[in-house]
Amino acid sequence: MTAALRLLIVEDRDDDVALLTRTLEDAGLAFEPERVRALDELGRELRASRWDLVLCDFRLIGFDATDALAVVREVDADLPFVVVSGVITDIEAAGIMREGANDFFKKGELGHLAESIRREVRDASARRAHEAERARFAAMVEHSAEWVALLDGQGTITYVSSSIRSLGHEVAELVGTPLLDLVHPDDATWAGHKLHAVHQGDQALERVEVRLRHGGDGHPVDAELLVQNLLDHEHVQALVVNARDVSSRRQVERQLRNSEAFVRTVLDSLAHATAVLDPVGTIVSVNRAWDHLVGALGVARPRARVGVDLLAALRASTASLDPERSVEAATAIGEVLADRQEAVEAELPVTSEDATRWFILRATQLAGGAGGAVVTLTDITAKHRVEQEQRRVLERHDELDSMKNAFLAAVSHELRTPLTSVRGVADSLVAHGDRITVGQRTLLYESLRRQSVRLEHLLGDLLDINRLTQGEVRAQRQPVDVEALVVRVLETGSVPRERVIVVGADLTVPLDGPMVERIVENLLVNALKFSPPDAPVTLTYEPAEGGVLVRVDDSGPGVAPEDRRRIFEPFQRADHPTVAGTGIGLTLVSRFATLHGGRAWVDDAPGGGARFQVLLPGVDAGTAAAGTSV
């Protein structure tokens, strides 16, 4: 069972705290919240308890999210901090993200809040584990009998472990000096060539036996250096040197150079998961990092242990390995073993119980001409996820751009049509006003009125969708006579009254009248648009859940099942070759229903066509943000 997350909520409004907790509960997040209202309370709670994440409003009484973030970072530099605000500009959002916030949400758009919390808590946990691992590694290096040095691209020592004191040197005197200054003059040229080869990439890993100068009396000390080029590694960016004194065992080490014990020592000094293969691809040794990685991924351990044919294991079908990529990796390793390539790389996805991780598999020929290869696995999951997210963002950008273009084209068409009619009527009145009969004049005035109502309806939709997007709208409930409301809609002239059949009894319920008028009007306009000319539509209203259920049946083509959710999203429309529109009328219906704690949906009408239904409960169960009524 997953432990509940401890959330510290910085919020001065009770209704916003309730909104956050209800949203997270609905998303199935297990959490234990604690609420604070002031900076001093925030500081005390941070120091008194362990917290998984801080949720903070952007503007509070006496301070804002930037002040709260400063307090949080002073106590815990890595504690996830997420901003949730009712009204926040893009500039303000960008500013708080630059200050170090992990994410931000508008209070009217909390659909992905729980997902963000889970991700940020998970990432913070991974970072803490990584820092702990680094601390353990540093302690291991400092207490090792061997000494470790990091060199820059010129061979200058930038770090050396305290074990160097065994050679009579202090750390401070060596940092900033060339490594070759420690080497006996007779060995300096040869050692310089070896370091140069590693730096140029001719050898990924080089073992160098040299004589070093003792810091006391200067006498030579036989030493073995293991040099690895990690200049391109994102975390290391150095030549890594592992060194030890081999004065008393030089002859023995020469005899055991290719033995399992020596290879084990070499491998276990490496940070990467590493396996050594013999010339036919059998694993002869693995390091602790390899063993740990295999266990963490949940891959069957016998498939990656000493004595196993790695190429055959990769080619075998398993649940954890992608068949195609595994075969590609096995083929690449085979190229190195066959001496056709010195080094190869391949991407390899590995699936465990809960996730897929991506690795770069590198195979490099073993030095010395003995055959075989060194295989390393480097975790590139984070890089792969970033690339995937970049692709997703680009695809979303293209999708939004297409939606924008379609919307602008639709709005241009919807505006041009009534404006063209208005211009035509005006031109007729100007050119022929003295010859137009009273009856003709009345028809022209009626046409002007219809087109004006149409323009007013379109502009109202555009203004409403903008205010909803900004979180400026909420339901203002007052007792509403539903029958009178329907009559008012029919009298506006936005729909031909003679084509609407109304079915309903006397009913008065607490609703936001203007919102419900827009709901009824948009449903009728939509139904008439998709119905055959002169075909009637039926408007039914009846009591439901202490409020009202509004239903509109048309005789149009209906709505395909795959479009029934999409058409309520902004700027989305069902495909129809002859019917134009902006794609926001049904969005307003859905959003206004939500502000009443209700919902909107569409089914097939019993006699064919579509049946749009909107439930507006009497008790406000919505999640409306603070703002004004339409």
Question: Tens digits of per-residue pLDDT, 405-420?
Answer: 555 444 444 455 556 6
Segments of 446-559 assigned E as strands = 478-481, 500-503, 508-511, 537-544, 547-553
Q: What is the pLDDT of residue 21?
A: 94
Which domains are present in the chain? 5-122 (3.40.50.2300), 385-451 (1.10.287.130), 463-616 (3.30.565.10)
Mean pLDDT computed over 564-579: 71
Q: What is the pLDDT of residue 465?
A: 57
Among 90, 113, 114, 112, residue whose Cα is nearest residue 29: 114
Instruction: Judge whether 37 and 59 are in contact, CB under 8 Å.
Output: no
88-102, 398-412, 532-546: the lowest-pLDDT one: 398-412
Q: Which residue has the higher pLDDT, 27 or 494?
A: 27
Burial letters 211-224, b for 16+ CB under 10 A, else e: bbbbbeeeebbbbb
Q: What is the pLDDT of residue 345?
A: 85
- Residue 40 pLDDT > 90: yes
Q: What is the pLDDT of residue 278?
A: 85
Q: What is the pLDDT of residue 196?
A: 82
Grade residue 575 by pLDDT with cuts at 50, 70 and 90.
low
Q: 31: part of which helix (H) or strand (E)? A: strand 31-36
Q: 33: part of which helix (H) or strand (E)? A: strand 31-36
Q: Which residue has the higher pLDDT, 12 or 164?
A: 12
Q: What is the pLDDT of residue 257?
A: 45
Q: What is the pLDDT of residue 414?
A: 47
Q: What is the pLDDT of residues 114-149, one digit of tens each?
A: 999 999 999 999 988 888 887 787 677 766 667 788
- Residue 34 pLDDT > 80: yes
Q: Which residue has the higher pLDDT, 79 or 227?
A: 79
Q: What is the pLDDT of residue 547?
A: 92
Grade residue 360 by pLDDT with cuts at 50, 70 and 90.
confident
DSSP annotation string for 127-196: HHHHHHHHHHHHHHHHTSSSEEEEE-TTSBEEEE-GGGGGGT--HHHHTTSBGGGGB-HHHHHHHHHHHH
Mean pLDDT computed over 9-38: 93
Q: What is the pLDDT of residue 81?
A: 96
Question: By CB neighbour count within 10 A (0-12 exposed, 13-18 middle, 19+ buried), where does 511 fall?
Answer: buried
Grade residue 613 by pLDDT with cuts at 50, 70 and 90.
very high
Grade residue 429 by pLDDT with cuts at 50, 70 and 90.
low
Highest mean pLDDT out of 289-298, 382-391, 603-612: 603-612
Q: What is the pLDDT of residues 2-18, one digit of tens each?
A: 789 999 999 999 999 99
Query: Can you read off the two tokens belonging to residue 262?
Result: 């020596």
Grade residue 333 by pLDDT with cuts at 50, 70 and 90.
confident
Mean pLDDT computed over 18-25: 94
Mean pLDDT computed over 24-40: 93
Q: What is the pLDDT of residue 98?
A: 92
Strand pairing category for 343-351 and 356-365: antiparallel
Grade residue 467 by pLDDT with cuts at 50, 70 and 90.
low
